Amino acid sequence: MNKNMKVTTTARHCYAVAYTNYLRSGNLDEATRQVAHDIYVNRGTSPGTQQGDWQEAERITREWPHTITDASQAHLFDKALAKTRQWLKELELELGFNNPNDAYRALRAVLHAVRDRLPVKECSEFAAQLPMMIMGMYYTGWTPMNKPEKIRNMDEFMDRVAAELPSGMDPMRITQGVISVIERHVSAGEIKDVRRNFPEHLREIWEEAARPASR
């Protein structure tokens, strides 16, 4: 595999959010900052420096302007948008919503609660299986500091979900619906890893999702 092919593969799969944002905006500096942040997150406790992360990010993004065409921009952006719409439509049907805005808020609330309970490495591995645009929403407001957060019981987890939901939505019902959709698209192995990173008293969240949600 030549260097350009390696760069393109890395861009599309390991640093998908930065790559998508670059396709949309053309801002290579901002994309490089995003990749440097991803490198920092993914190396965890491995040795490294901010300068080293930045140099590696520059190496990865340097070839992007030469490997991206107008056609590839349109194709990749349309593909990412189509996958996001598919997830939202499935969630609308799962929860009986009649608009994608409610589905988006529901998905965001549950993903953020799950995300904050995961160790940094598992958080990024789970994110890699999300559609690129949903991955961007997943990471919004996230930092690797003090993760995973301590959530002592189911009520606390539901409070986290409810904090990002419109008034009147049942957080347990929303969580059941969102997890049901996630399990259709994320590999069984990754779902198992996510569940394993939840304490035993919170794993029932996933068991509840396997039961029919009340409509």
Chunk the chain into consecutive blocks of 10 residues (it has 215) and report each block's average pLDDT, rounded to whole numbers. 41 62 76 85 78 88 71 60 90 93 95 93 89 87 88 89 93 93 91 85 70 49
Q: What is the DSSP string of 138-160?
A: HHTT--STT-SPP--SHHHHHHH
Range(s) of the chain covered by CATH 1.10.490.110: 81-209
pLDDT at site 171: 94
CATH architecture of the domain formed by 81-209: Orthogonal Bundle (1.10)
How far apart CA 28 and CA 36 sit, in angstroms, is 12
How big is the CA angle at 164 (ends 160 and 170), to the nearest 5 degrees? 75
Query: Are the beta carbons of 136 and 20 closer than 8 angstroms?
Result: yes
Helix (H) / strand (E) element for 83: namely helix 70-95
**Distance (Å, whole) CA 103 – CA 68:** 32
In order of 7, 54, 130, 160, 179, the CA distances from 111 in angstroms are: 29, 28, 10, 10, 9
Token pair belonging to 59? 């190496």
pLDDT at 95: 95
Q: What's the pLDDT score for residue 109? A: 97
Q: What integer pLDDT is reported at residue 116 of this predicted model?
A: 94
Please give the C-alpha separations between residue 181 and each of 9, 55, 93, 113, 210, in angstroms, as whole numbers: 27, 38, 10, 16, 11
